[in-house]
Amino acid sequence: MNYDKDEYEQLIDSSLLFTLDREKEYIVYRREVLKMVEYLYCYLMAINVHKYETFGVEIVDTAKRCIESYKPDSGRFLNYFSSAWKQTYGHLIGRELVREKFKGIHFTEYEERNFRKYMRLAQNMGVDTESSEFDDRVAEAMGISTSDVDNLRSMINCRPIYGSRVNEEGEEYSLIDQLDSGKYTDIGVLQFEAVKEFMDIIELAFNQLQERQKPLLAMLITSKIAFLALEDERIRAILKRKAFFDEGIFEETMSRGEQIQAKEIADRFGVVEASASRSWRRFKNGLKTPCHYNEW
């Protein structure tokens, strides 16, 4: 079925629904409610049917909730609904991300919510996630104990990792497989969460390296993922807070418009290229099994 965004936008804006008395004109009102729910569903399908089609029940529930709570002084109803749906969709995607990270493991809604809160704090707090300061601040922000924070960290470090994602066309791609080329396909606005998770995975692995390994690998990692931040300031800001970020290599990579090759980075540390390449292969291959980094 083809959906015309402009058509449904006009139908929503011109609806008589909010001019009716829901008690005195109950039958007409209920009919208009059903029409409005249909219009809102079709409006979202017109925006992106592949993105929203699987959330039909949630769209209907959100539409009914908005119709029930909307007041004319809240402004344009379509804007009111769009804001509510954006929030609902964010929660839905958050749950999907949790389930994808821990495939085969059941979590309650409370546990999923705690995981999402923890990840947001880990990304935005600007404090070493292995430090006691981080534990104290997260515990206070989430209203949990520091031992609970440690449990969340342990869960995250040992979760099953799958490098594959699915783009808007339903095609599978892997950011991990694209690391060596440094040229990332299928990364758009809708993959922002995937990129953040990708950098989290890399940071978790990097933090478990021996200190002597970190400087060389920080340069290699930064150069290989620099172009993910080329057109998105949000990603650049997250990247610059990561433990593996090397600012000098980042600026040099951007200036050249290409990766800094392993041989050149190896030369800067006085090691042979084969040694640097071997360290990189072990690091990349281990990204899918972060619990094993303590075996290095």
82-131 pLDDT, tens digit each: 999 988 887 676 556 555 555 545 555 666 677 667 766 765 666 566 67
Sign of the Cα torsion 7, 8, 13, 14 reads positive
Asked if residue 216 is part of any domain, the answer here is no
CA 136, chain centre distance (Å): 25
> For the segment 54-87, what is each residue's pLDDT rounded down to a tens digit?
888 899 999 999 999 998 888 999 999 999 998 8
Give the amino acid at 55: F
Q: Is residue 29, in this structure, part of any structural domain at all?
A: yes
pLDDT of residue 205: 83
- pLDDT tens for residues 135-165? 888 888 888 888 888 777 666 554 444 444 4
Residue 71, phi then psi, degrees to nearest 5:
-125, 140
> Is it the case that residue 183 has pLDDT exceeding 80?
no
Answer yes or no: are the C-beta atoms of 80 and 72 closer than 8 Å: no
C-alpha atoms less than 13 angstroms from C-alpha of 217 in its C-beta half-sphere: 22
Residue 173 phi/psi, 5° resolution? -145, 165
Alpha helices in the chain (DSSP H): 5-13, 26-52, 56-69, 77-101, 109-124, 132-142, 146-157, 192-207, 214-225, 233-240, 247-256, 262-268, 273-285
What does the pLDDT read at residue 268? 92
In the predicted structure, residue 292 carries a pLDDT above the cut 50: no
Q: What is the per-residue pLDDT for 16?
A: 92
Is the residue at 168 inside a domain?
no
| 208 vs 16, more confident | 16
| Domain assignment present for 64 | yes
User: How far is residue 69's CA from residue 85's CA, in Å, rounded to a whole number?
Assistant: 14
DSSP β-bridge partners for residue 2: none
Cβ neighbour number for residue 140 with a 10 Å cutoff: 11
Name the more confident of 254 and 163.
254
Mean pLDDT of 203-230: 88
Identify the pLDDT of residue 234: 81
For the record, the structure tokens of 193 come out as 């969460």
| Domain count within the chain | 1
pLDDT at 231: 65
What's the domain range around 42?
A: 5-94
Q: Over the stretch 193-211, which tens digit does the pLDDT of each residue have?
A: 667 777 888 888 888 888 8
Q: Is residue 101 part of a domain?
A: no
Domain annotation covers residue 142: no
Residue 49 in any domain: the answer is yes
Averaged pLDDT of the chain? 78
108 lies in a domain?
no
